[in-house]
Chain A
């Protein structure tokens, strides 16, 4: 079963614009991670935010976490065509610290 659910399922923007993707999850978490997947490739880890953190930055990425609403958002600023990919949030499930559960992802298309 999917622990995280991303919204929207697809997002199309112009280069230079900001892109925001949201993720909701069901159970309590220790941390939440975001991954990127280019078409036909494996997943690349972007950022991890712990349950006691509310916001985290990494380059052009900004992640927020609201544990009271069980939701997270990923903001990509000044998007580039190379940011075109699927983005997934993931959490550890079943009380484990190894079994990641992913949502269905948001397909981001950045038009040049």
Chain B
């Protein structure tokens, strides 16, 4: 069990630029989740994949955000035309699909918008 891996760990970019984050889940897990966490808050759900299918997107995920999980393996989260309010920690998690299975989190990508 190598854990959930996220890359990069930190990203600093200028407002208006596009950024892309990558998540490699635990290989046996069929579910993958993206959350966003701001300072002093708990994580907020963004989107969820079961295998390669994106089954739910939060209203927090504006049309500037897109997530993919090709072939049900790794996932990418892209933010286009970044804004100051996008500054946050973006967390990826994975789990088995059955009831009560814990979600395993990566260490996140911290995004800072200048």
**Interface set of A (CB-CB < 8 Å, partner B):** 2, 4, 30-31, 33, 35, 40-45, 48, 50, 88, 90, 93, 96-105
Which residue from A4, A45, A90, A96 sits with its C-beta under 8 Å from B104?
Answer: A45
**Contact call A97/B99, Cβ cutoff below 8 A:** yes
Residues of A within 8 A of B44 (CB): 102
**Contact call B99/A104, Cβ cutoff below 8 A:** no
**Contact call A105/B56, Cβ cutoff below 8 A:** no
Query: Once bound together, how far apart are the Cα atoms of A79 and B87, in whole Å?
Result: 34
Residue of A nearest to B102 (CB): A45
**Contact call A100/B103, Cβ cutoff below 8 A:** yes
Q: How far is the CB of B60 from chain A (nearest CB, A)?
A: 11
Is residue B74 within 8 Å, beta carbon to beta carbon, of the partner chain?
no
Using a CB-CB cutoff of 8 Å, which residues 15-74 of chain B contact chain A? Answer: 31, 33, 35, 40-45, 48, 50, 55-56
